[in-house]
Amino acid sequence: MADLSWERLTEKLPEVSWRNALRWAGYPAFFVFCFVVFAYWTFPYERLRDRLVEEAGERGYGLEIIDLSPSRLSGVTLEGVRLVLPADGDEPPVDVVFDELTVRASILSALSDTKSFSFDANLAGGNAQGDVAIGEENFELDAELSSIELKQIPALRRFTKIPVTGKLDGEISLEMPSEVGESMGNVTLTIEAMSVGDGKTKLNIPGWGGLTLDEADAGNLNVQATVEEGTATIESFKADGKDLKLDVLGNVRLARPMKRSQLNLMLKAKIEDGYKTRSPKMAAMIELASTGDAYKAALAPDGSLQYKVNGSAAGRLRPQGAGKEAFRAPAATAR
């Protein structure tokens, strides 16, 4: 047997052409294709929608979905989505509405502990799209924002404490590994035609009390920040409006969860005389506050108000008047 040549072993085998081989291989491939298509189109998407709503309710969230349909092989498209996050202490609940939201999962990420998704959302008259990866201890985000109308996002009030309007555009890139101190990324944002205040909502400012702001033109706000070694350094945060001028420098030391991040900022705001003329209420408030020590401590030589802002993002921040100090970025705090 050992002396038999390959030719003698194969000379009695039937000859099979490539055409026949491909034909026979095509049968199982066609079966798999039909199975995938059948499963894709007959999947009970309505039951999935109901299950998502039920799961959200069990976790304390409010979720409404008008319609849910497939998107390619690994995604779904949700229409008429409303997500309500519960109130946090004295903070109001967060209410976000998406006209349409498409989410696709990376099939390869199913083999790892970190799950990757792409998203494309139509909300507030604009669009947000990008990629996100979520693991037990790591998080990555690459997002692009386009023409989002801030006044159509009531949830924004939870963070700004006062009505802010304008059109938001920008890009966000953030990598936060298990070691938060190794985080890195970039943030570039622009709010076009920003305005602050609505003449009704009160803003609690130390030394001023509950201040109601008439709508003030803040112009275009440009934000540029770089994240290195777990600290976001604000390189630019400026608005130069006809009523209100803003300038912020400083850094944010990131933490997990994000609301524990520590702010270390220097803030300057200047209210223009034209705004005081148009808003007698504001002029009277400034005249009254100008006699207080807190106002005097914040008043800078150029007539602007200057504050140091320190504390956690979720805490009750207490700005301190810094009108006598040079306006510059405070040093980053050590971990």
CB 325 within 8 A of CB 300: no
Band (24; pLDDT cuts 50, 70, 90) = very low
Q: Is 208 helix (H, G, I), strand (E, B) or coil?
A: coil
Give residue-wise pLDDT tens across range 215-234.
Answer: 999 999 999 999 999 999 99
pLDDT at 139 over 60: yes
CB 167 within 8 A of CB 126: yes
At 326, phi and psi to the nearest 5? -70, 140
Reduce the secondary structure of 127-157 to three states and give it as a string: EEEEEEEECCCCEEEEEEEEEEEHHHCHHHH
How large is the C-alpha radius of gyration of the chain? 29
Q: Give the pLDDT confidence score for residue 118 in this predicted structure.
A: 93
Q: Which of 67-81, 85-99, 110-124, 179-193 is modeled with the greatest confidence?
A: 179-193
Q: Give the pLDDT confidence score for residue 286 in this predicted structure.
A: 83
Q: Maximum Cα–Cα distance for the chain, whole Å? A: 111
Secondary structure (DSSP) of 15-71: P--HHHHHHHHHHHHHHHHHHHHHHHHHS-HHHHHHHHHHHHHHTT-EEEEEEEEEE
Task: Please state the pTM of the whole predicted model.
Answer: 0.79
**Domain ranges (residues) in the chain:** 170-335
